[in-house]
Amino acid sequence: MSKHTDAAAEVLLERKGCAGVITLNRPKFLNALNLSMIRQIYPQLKKWEQDPETFLIIIKGAGGKAFCAGGDIRVISEARKANLKIAQDFFREEYMLNNAIDSCQKPYIALIHGITMGGGVGLSVHGQFRVATEKSLFAMPETAIGLFPDVGGGYFLPRLQGKLGCFLALTGFRLKGRDVYAAGIATHFVDSEKLGMLEEDLLALKSPSEENIADVLETYHAKSKIDQDKSFILEEHMDKINSWFSANTVEQIIENLQRDGSSFALEQLKVINKMSPTSLKITLRQLMEGSSKTLQEVLTMEYRLSQACMGGHDFHEGVRAVLIDKDQSPKWKPADLKEVTDEALNNHFKSLGSNDLKF
**pLDDT per position as a tens digit, 186-202:** 999 999 999 999 999 99
- Indicate if 196 belongs to the active site: no
Q: What pLDDT was estimated at residue 246?
A: 98
In this prediction, residues 314-318 reach a mean pLDDT of 96
Q: What is the pLDDT of residues 226-276, one digit of tens each?
A: 998 899 999 999 999 999 999 999 999 999 999 999 999 999 999 999 999
How does residue 220 score in pLDDT terms, banded at 50, 70 and 90?
A: very high
**229 given a catalytic annotation:** no
Give the domains, in start order, of the chain with CATH numbers: 11-355 (3.90.226.10)
| pLDDT one-digit tens code per residue, 319-331 | 999 999 999 999 9
Q: Which residues contact 320 (CB under 8 A, 6 or more apart)?
A: 77, 330
Rounded distance between C-alpha atoms, residue 299 and residue 102, angstroms? 12
Distance CA 181, CA 59 (A): 18
Q: Which of 17, 114, 119, 290 is catalytic?
A: 119
Is 201 catalytic? The answer is no
pLDDT at residue 1 tops 80: no
Map residue 189 onto helix, strand or coil. Answer: strand
Task: State pLDDT tens for residues 11-54.
Answer: 999 999 999 999 999 999 999 999 999 999 999 999 999 999 99
pLDDT at site 2 = 47
119 is catalytic: yes
Range scoring the smallest mean pLDDT among 4-13, 201-210, 257-266: 4-13
Cα separation, 2 vs 23, whole angstroms: 12
With a CB cutoff of 8 Å and minimum separation 6, the contacts of 293 are 154, 155, 301
Alpha-carbon span 158 to 144, nearest angstrom: 20
Quick one: average pLDDT of 271-295?
A: 98
Note if the pTM is more than 0.75: yes
Catalytic residue among 72, 134, 150, 179: 150
CA distance 130 to 115: 14
| 85-135 confidence digits (pLDDT tens) | 888 999 999 999 999 999 999 999 999 999 999 999 999 999 999 999 999
User: Of 326, 353, 304, whose CA–CA distance to 150 is shortest?
Assistant: 304
Confidence of residue 81 (pLDDT cuts 50, 70, 90): low
Q: What is the pLDDT of residue 6?
A: 52
List the catalytic residue out of 10, 94, 134, 142.
Answer: 142
Spatial separation of the C-alpha atoms in residues 99 and 106, rounded to whole Å: 14
Note the pLDDT of residue 266: 97
Res 94: pLDDT: 98
130-167 pLDDT tens trace: 999 999 999 999 999 999 999 999 999 999 999 999 99
Tell me the average pLDDT of the chain.
95
Ramachandran sector of residue 249 (left: φ over 0; alpha: ψ -120 to 50; beta: rest)? beta
| Active-site option among 61, 71, 153, 177 | 71
Please tell me the distance from the alpha carbon of residue 228 to that of residue 13, in angstroms, as a whole number: 34
